[in-house]
Structure 1
Amino acid sequence: MRLALATLIVLLAGCRSLGYYAHVAHGQAALLSERRPIAKVVADPKTPAKTRERLELASEARRFASTRLALPDNRSYTWYVALDRPWVAWNVFATPELSVAPITHCFPIAGCVAYRGYFRHDLAQREAARESALGHDVSIGEVPAYSTLGWFADPILSSMMRWDDDELAGTIFHELAHQELYVKDDSSFNESFATFVEREGLRQWRRSRNLPPPDERGDILDRSFTRQILALRERLGTLYAEDRPDEAKRVAKAETFEAFRGQYLVWRETEAKGDRRYDRWMAKPLNNARLLPFGLYDTWVPSFAAMFADTGGRWPVFYARVRELAKRPPDERTRELQRLATRSDAL
């Protein structure tokens, strides 16, 4: 079957696509060849104490994911890879100069997504330069972890170890949720589902360890900042749809981004009360492509929260309900998510 798939790719893909698939295959194979069982890394006297401590916590979170959250019980996140780079991969996002719609890329398993991922930073930069030369807005995003959707036993990566305990455990829950359920060509559905599992799983994880609930102030600020980005994207979309010359749109685009910088400073000092966590993001040049990831991860989180409440917090029943919803046609699926979100807001 794998040979047939490889042959099909050869017949249908151009040289550039074949080169990309080869790069991805090589990068994934390198991770598999470099991984070590976490138990052996923990037992190794050469392992730094801090690394041992984090891996022990990751192992506890991994067991909790399967025993308490009913997530897949497999070998994923029972291995460790010490990377020779700060991030495992880099995603390249692109949009037309006068559009907020992403330039999508379609793959045999993952379906269509709004980016191309690279295991090497120089190749991501080369792809970004190619898109820029075509006149597109471009952005490169750093990737600390990802899921192969159960095709391989995904490892804990050294790029994940810099996080605090909640982020490490939450990421394991998030990525295993992708293995539990993944819908082709619907990134917002997939990421919102995984984000809900991550957040609810983290609440239950902390409760099991006699810890207080997660501090939600950061999430509240994230949601507030995301709403502003989505409003900015909507304003730009309206601007680009206007019947006027492209040069006038370019000027208005620059003015819109500049006005947003001023709005951000006011928001930071008022609603965010001086919190500067977004300053690094705002310091970089703004363009359409940099806005793409926002809203992708949490658009439908309230909808999944409502579904979870309807099941009485029973994970297997919840997953079964989500699978039923995933089978519906895209438009019908979206309408149901909107209905659930409205009900969640009312509650």
Structure 2
Amino acid sequence: YTLFSEIKEEYLGWNVYAAPKYSVEPITWSFPVAGRVVYRGYFSKEGALKFAKQIEEEGNDVYVSPISAYSTLGWYNDPVLSSHLRLNEIRLAGLIIHELAHQQLYVKGDSRFNESFAVTVERAGVLRWLKSTGRDDQIGMAEKMWEQQDAANSKMLDARSRLNELYHSGIDSALMEQKKDFLLKEFTGEIGRPRFGEMNNAYFVPVNTYYSMVPKFQSMLDSLGGDFKKFYRETEVLEASPPAPKPQ
């Protein structure tokens, strides 16, 4: 992130997330470098919406949201984009640290592990950056922002869990559809309408991907006294160990 690139659009691109009609587990796509991931990216919104419509017509839930940044995983010198300059210092620093974290450790085919790991590194890295650059007055601002994020994320993850319970209840599809609609209306009232698109199963894919493992990684980092080198070694060991069953 030593280069700068001007882009004409407000966003770098658009991601398509999808999930079956009666499941909160994401539909995934496979790519050569990244492996299997829970999103499919497009530079144009039109391209994303066209693909989303195709997936939706197959009977799935879809959610389309903007892409703010990306990482080529160290293959290229990724630039700071003109769209990033709209962010405040805390968010911009967090974005850069998050993407650099993917260069430190990336598990091919495990989006949830990768993004939750990067969020953990992002937050800890921002705090150290603020302290090392004499911005101690902004530490409280950052912590308050994350506290608000976590409160919202907790509601969304709880909503996702309630949907998952419904889909595993064994009731017939007609009643399940009614209960799904009822829950989504209830969640919309509690959480608020999505900024992009409608609330459905796919809407919960990003929050589960980016935040569901953060408490686990944060606990690990804290137990190591905040030592990043030890943390990276431990996460590499965790990544190499046999995968545990994913919580529904």
TM-score by length of 2: 0.90
Higher relative contact order (CA 8 A, sep 6+): 2
For 1:231 and 1:107, locate their aligned partners in 2 and report how far apart those are by CA, in whole Å: 31
Q: What whole-Å deviation, never above 9, does each CA across 1:61-82 have from its counterpart, x for those lacking one?
A: xxxxxxxxxxxxxxxx111111
| Residue of 324, 327, 340 corresponding to 2:237 | 324
The residue type paired with residue 42 of structure 2 is Y
Where does residue 223 of structure 1 map in the other structure?
150
CA contact (8 A) 1:93 1:138 kept: yes
Quote the RMSD (CA, aligned, Å): 2.1
Identity rate, percent? 39
For 2:25 and 2:225, locate their aligned partners in 1 and report how far apart those are by CA, in whole Å: 38
| Residue of 157, 171, 176 corresponding to 2:100 | 176
For 2:105 and 2:43, locate their aligned partners in 1 and report how far apart those are by CA, in whole Å: 25
Where structure 1 has 5 or more consecutive residues not aligned to the other structure, the ranges are: 1-76, 265-278, 336-347
Where does residue 191 of structure 1 map in the other structure?
115
Q: CA deviation at 1:222?
A: 1.6
Where does residue 290 of structure 1 map in the other structure?
203
| Residue of 229, 240, 243 corresponding to 2:167 | 240
The residue type paired with residue 303 of structure 1 is K
For 1:325 and 1:119, locate their aligned partners in 2 and report how far apart those are by CA, in whole Å: 34
Where does residue 104 of structure 1 map in the other structure?
28
Q: CA deviation at 1:282?
A: 6.3
Distance 1:324 1:257, change over 3 A: same
Q: CA deviation at 1:130?
A: 0.4
For 1:261 and 1:310, locate their aligned partners in 2 and report how far apart those are by CA, in whole Å: 37
| Residue of 222, 226, 231 corresponding to 1:309 | 222
CA contact (8 A) 1:145 1:159 kept: no
1:162 aligns with 2:86: yes
1:92 aligns with 2:21: no
How many residue pairs end up in the alignment?
244
Deviating beyond 6 angstroms after TM superposition, the runs of 4 or more aligned structure 1 residues are none
Q: What whole-Å deviation, never above 9, does each CA across 1:258-302 have from its counterpart, x for those lacking one?
A: 1223334xxxxxxxxxxxxxx562685211111111132222323
Where structure 2 has 5 or more consecutive residues not aligned to the other structure, the ranges are: none
Q: CA deviation at 1:225?
A: 1.6
For 1:167 and 1:282, locate their aligned partners in 2 and report how far apart those are by CA, in whole Å: 19
TM-score by length of 1: 0.66
Distance 1:194 1:221, change over 3 A: same
Q: What SS is found at the alignment partner of 2:15?
A: strand
1:259 aligns with 2:186: yes
The residue type paired with residue 195 of structure 1 is V
For 2:173 and 2:66, locate their aligned partners in 1 and report how far apart those are by CA, in whole Å: 32
Please say which structure displays the higher CA radius of gyration: 1
Q: CA deviation at 1:221?
A: 2.0
CA contact (8 A) 2:5 2:81 kept: yes
| Residue of 119, 134, 150 corresponding to 1:210 | 134
